[in-house]
Amino acid sequence: MLILGDAAHADDVAWINPYREGAGAIGRAMQSVERLAGLKARWAGSGHGPAIVEPERALAAARERYEGWLERPESAAWHACKRIASYALIIRDGLAEVEATDHFASRPWAADFARHAFDADPREFALALIEELLRSGAARRSGGQLVAGAPHNRPPPDWHPAYPWPGNWPSTKAAEERPNGSGHKD
């Protein structure tokens, strides 16, 4: 058994922000994948998604994707932005469509990618990002909201904004006292 975290998933890889992680971030990710592939695991668990029953194949796909990003850095940039924007839609249970552009334009990661990867103003980039999220199916419109298109479990109503920071997480004892033992009310 191999625990991968975000090194690779059954059908994807982690998002990388070279503007915050450094120019060698993709190379370091590739080195990690190579080391993990050398372990010859028969089963793996990633930080997201289903169990990986063919780790060698998933790691080879991750290596190939990272190699492609080195050849086409704009692909890495779009992947990163779509992943983090989708995550924002998941944890916020969507964003009002009229607020989405301003929300994304105000995020530091969006400003990094807008300026350095796309030579664009953050607001102009946010508009293009929303269009790409909708085009790719990473997001969809629903009742005036922009919501994540990926399958996910809706966060419990009391999760946000009280719990996003570890210091605000309920104690283990409080979590165990909740009805389902998960730390969240169903």
Residues 92 and 140 in one domain: yes
User: 71, 102, 126 — which closes off a domain?
Assistant: 71
CB 15 within 8 A of CB 79: yes
> Which pLDDT score is estimated for 105?
96
The residue range of the domain holding 167 is 156-186
Q: How far apart are CA 34 and CA 37, in angstroms?
A: 5
Residues 78 and 67 in one domain: no
Residues 78 and 139 in one domain: yes
> Which pLDDT score is estimated for 182?
45
> Which pLDDT score is estimated for 166?
66
The pTM is what?
0.74
In total, the chain counts a number of residues equal to 186
Q: How many domains does the chain have?
A: 3
SS3 67: helix
Residue 88 burial by Cβ neighbours in a 10 Å radius (0-12, 13-18, 19+): buried
Residues 15 and 62 in one domain: yes
Residues 167 and 136 in one domain: no
Residues 87 and 143 in one domain: yes
User: 71, 92, 127 — which closes off a domain?
Assistant: 71
Residues 65 and 8 in one domain: yes
- Give me the numbers of helices (H) and strands (E) for the chain, helices first please: 8, 5
- Three-state SS across 130-158? HHHHHHHCCEEEECCEEEECCCCCCCCCC
Residues 110 and 130 in one domain: yes
Residues 21 and 45 in one domain: yes
Measured from the Cβ of residue 180, the count of other Cβ atoms closer than 10 Å reads 10
CB 58 within 8 A of CB 44: yes
pLDDT (tens digit, 0 to 9) for every residue of the chain, 186 residues total?
Answer: 889 888 888 888 888 888 788 889 999 999 999 999 999 999 999 887 889 999 999 999 999 999 999 999 889 899 999 999 998 999 888 999 999 999 999 999 899 899 999 999 999 999 999 999 999 999 999 999 999 998 888 777 766 555 556 666 666 555 555 554 444 443
CB 44 within 8 A of CB 52: yes
> Which pLDDT score is estimated for 184?
42
User: 22, 44, 71 — which closes off a domain?
Assistant: 71
